[in-house]
A and B are shown apart, each in its own frame.
Chain A
Amino acid sequence: MSTKPRTLYEKIWDAHVVDRRDDGTCLIYIDRHLVHEVTSPQAFEALRLAGRTVRRPDLTLAVPDHNLPTTPRVDAAGARVPIADMESAQQLAALEANAPSFGIRYIGATDAAQGIVHVVGPEQGFSLPGTTIVCGDSHTACHGGIGALAFGIGTSEVEHVLATQTLLLQQSKTMEVRVEGTLGFGVSPKDVILHIIGVIGAAGGTGYVIEYTGNVFREMSVEGRLTVSNMSIEGGARAGLVAADDLTFAYLEGRPMAPKGADWDAAVAWWRSLATDPGAVYDKVVTIDAGDIAPSLTWGTSPEDVVAITGAVPDPMSFADPSKQEAAKKSLAYMGLTPGTRMQDVPVDSIFIGSCTNSRIEDLRAAAAVARGRHVAANVRQALVVPGSGLVKRQAEAEGLDRIFIDAGFEWREPGCSMCLAMNPDKVPPGDRCASTSNRNFVGRQGPGARTHLVSPAMAAAAAVTGHLADVRELVGEAA
């Protein structure tokens, strides 16, 4: 191995190469594998048909999240509430059967620790810095927030990892996204990543792994870093990384599956050594001034369609690229928006606070701070708050956040993916407009015909209580 300065990504990559083929393809060892009900049944089935086993069940953790309803899972008598949708019930049953039959740890639907895989991994200390983490879900990029090389894989790769604990991969290029300066009042990690995607574009990161650097990320909480890294995939990157530091270690220490005692100390020493070397070169560098980032949201149907809350719906003809002009016209027709309309004048019908991007305790605190003492506006038809895990839910309840939301007219739900994707009963009805803290504003993502505006938790709460897309800075005083 050469001694030239290396980036964080290159160090993690090098430490996981099992074999390097002549054509450059590498067999990469996978340290952690998260499994959920939607992308795993066909993989387990293929193993069974080929008479194969799971190589390292101890490095695999299964949690259902995508199609679980977020209504209570046990009735007053303590009995399991069956899932009405037969296909969803069948998928859940498949995971419930596959986990024990392949010897995999399983956090079930009624377990207090159940939640969205990407919330559960770091929360349990299963996800660790410097590890390779995969899951049959593109938002696995989330775990990069604690300095892990984490990325989504397809079902054939899920099968490959289950059987071999490795993947055949090509090394990615490296991109540094450096954000320096001071974030303005009311600007959250979600606004930072939306702004970044607006700058680099939805395909800007294709072929790259992004490392987020600069004082803004050093000073950002670990949960904020998870939010940022989560949406790396929306900028086209396979993964995002924020180097692990003292904040990360403090966040992970003592978590149930994290190393303990001497193991912990050895782990921390190794994690520290992974930071990008001075003089290491990235294939591409993007620099952003923190002062340029406003509370932001999307106006269209691609995550790159980002505008400041103080801005207006753009004119499709204002884009230089003719194909972007076409796409913007289609987006605006789908979104039911007219160029020139002030974003703050757009009324909303639905509010979703949740998803692996924004369902951790800090997110719920930020939303509750806006909802406190206010009420969901009369024109809002549904406003859901869906904690990312049972443990987040319990913590929020201990802090009284559930009361704030319920008193304000929000629904307080059980953990899961919920309205982030239209797979479980939580959906945005056709034509309705949703201020959502999730990560994708694709056509039909939250339900056929649903119109999504991606926002931060505080901005979602602001939209809920005003009934329209709103600037959170006008609701929460700087001194508050």
Chain B
Amino acid sequence: MTRAGIFKKGMQLTLSQDMAYKWNFLITVIATMFKDFIGPLIIILIYTSTSGIPGWSLYEFLLFQGTLTLVFGFGHFAFVQIPAKVISGVRRGTFDKYLLKPVDTLFYLTAIATDWDGLGQVAVGLALIIFAFIKLNLAISLNFWIYVLLILVAFIFQYAIMVLISALTFLIVQSWALLDLFFKISDFARYPSSVYGVGLRFMLTFFFPIAISAYYPSIVLINGFSIKLLLEAVIPVFVFFILSLYVWKLAMRKYTSAGG
């Protein structure tokens, strides 16, 4: 079977799993979408009763939030089940079955990681982006295509994080705690890096480049870009990505040697 074939099969499989309880699936999707509308609702409450967040008009902020929802929604849809499968697999001792497959383990895990609930979140993100895009009178210009490109880089960051968490499951602690920790830290991405102090902003760009999730794409779409800005947005993500693949390799080596 080709790699694309495996991917397709994996997606079919997860779809039928998610559909096992149809009502629950439907309600879960609605719940996810509802949850993602709460963020914008709070922002509207803030903007109607205060002057808002400095440097961002209401619609600019909604664009920011839509981008964030899209990126995290895609992470939820495509990648979040990777660490989930690893954690429960290692706990139950069923992880070895992934190692027996005749394809690369990480590829196989990615192929079966689709979580269809995430589509609702992606839809909410897209809806918010389109709404804000129209309200802000933006055009499909070069800025827009750079915006799209940065969102793709943000997807890569989502993947890198999930791979890193999966790897750390072998190396540090076998629990959901790491995944929770990531979601806690990712709360920093909920607001533009510009509201934080210089030190924090530096961390969120270079050390844990989560500012790529919404901050960098949005300011490029709204204000335009410079080469320097793009480099500081993109390079840390790729460094992070390579690092996480390396840690995964390390973890795999450790796991197989312990089992053999």
A and B held together in a complex = no
Interface residues of A (CB under 8 A from B): none
